[in-house]
Chains A and B, each alone.
Chain A
Amino acid sequence: AQKVTQAQTEISVVEKEDVTLDCVYETRDTTYYLFWYKQPPSGELVFLIRRNSFDEQNEISGRYSWNFQKSTSSFNFTITASQVVDSAVYFCALRSIGSNFGNEKLTFGTGTRLTIIP
């Protein structure tokens, strides 16, 4: 079984502050992929990043950065110099490659609602 935990239900920060969204995952498989998606109020899911289990290198994309640590089963997401447009619900997700090859489903965390206060 696989599970994704986003302990922070809601976070509010003042614009320009940095904020980190936590994600902890569980899986028995050695091969898996981790994702972050953004869901603005309009509802669509915006893909942000994908990481495979064999690549622990951290990644930075503009104001976004991700810290993947297998030792703690965490894949945290940091937004630096936050902006009002960053306000959204952010989902961490896990896709495990197990025995049911070909139908690996994406398991979502419960999401973190981020509000950036102007």
Chain B
Amino acid sequence: GAVVSQHPSWVICKSGTSVKIECRSLDFQATTMFWYRQFPKQSLMLMATSNEGSKATYEQGVEKDKFLINHASLTLSTLTVTSAHPEDSSFYICSADAGTLNSPLHFGNGTRLTVT
């Protein structure tokens, strides 16, 4: 079945540094990828929708300059948390859409970011 690979699975960084998270669709082309953020014991909140070759669409309240999204190919989207601060510590998870309306939206295993 379709698989989405997300890397790294966890990362610890110092305040002020930038962190890049990769999301790859392994056996299908993902025209659209979604990035979610999940705080402890809370639901998944959509941050942005990225389409291959175009600018990402950010949800209200999400800083586009802080959370840079690049969807350079049909199999790879990246989320870069720039100048990370402790409040950015969270669980980030991506999902990839194979392009069919009834696709289950395959999810990566998530990245746990801790900013010290």
In this complex, what residue of A is CB-closest to B51?
A103
Give the total number of A-B pairs whose CB atoms are below 8 A apart: 55
Chain B interface: which size bin? 20 to 34
In this complex, what residue of B is CB-closest to A48?
B104
**Partner pick for B105 among A97, A106, A110, A111, CB 8 A cutoff:** A106
Structural contact, A105 and B49, CB atoms closer than 8 A: yes
**Partner pick for A43 among B41, B42, B57, B91, CB 8 A cutoff:** B91
- In the complex, which of the residues B44, B57, B93 has the most CB atoms of chain A within 10 Å of its own CB atom? B44
Structural contact, B42 and A110, CB atoms closer than 8 A: yes
Shortest beta-carbon distance from B9 to chain A in Å: 9
Query: In whole angstroms, what is the CA distance A113 to B46 when docked?
Result: 20
Structural contact, A110 and B109, CB atoms closer than 8 A: no
Structural contact, A109 and B49, CB atoms closer than 8 A: no
Structural contact, A91 and B109, CB atoms closer than 8 A: no
Per the 8 Å Cβ criterion, residues 67-118 of A in contact with B are 91, 95, 97, 102-111, 113
Listed in ascending order, the chain A residues whose CB lies under 8 Å from chain B are 33, 35, 37, 42-45, 47, 50, 52, 91, 95, 97, 102-111, 113
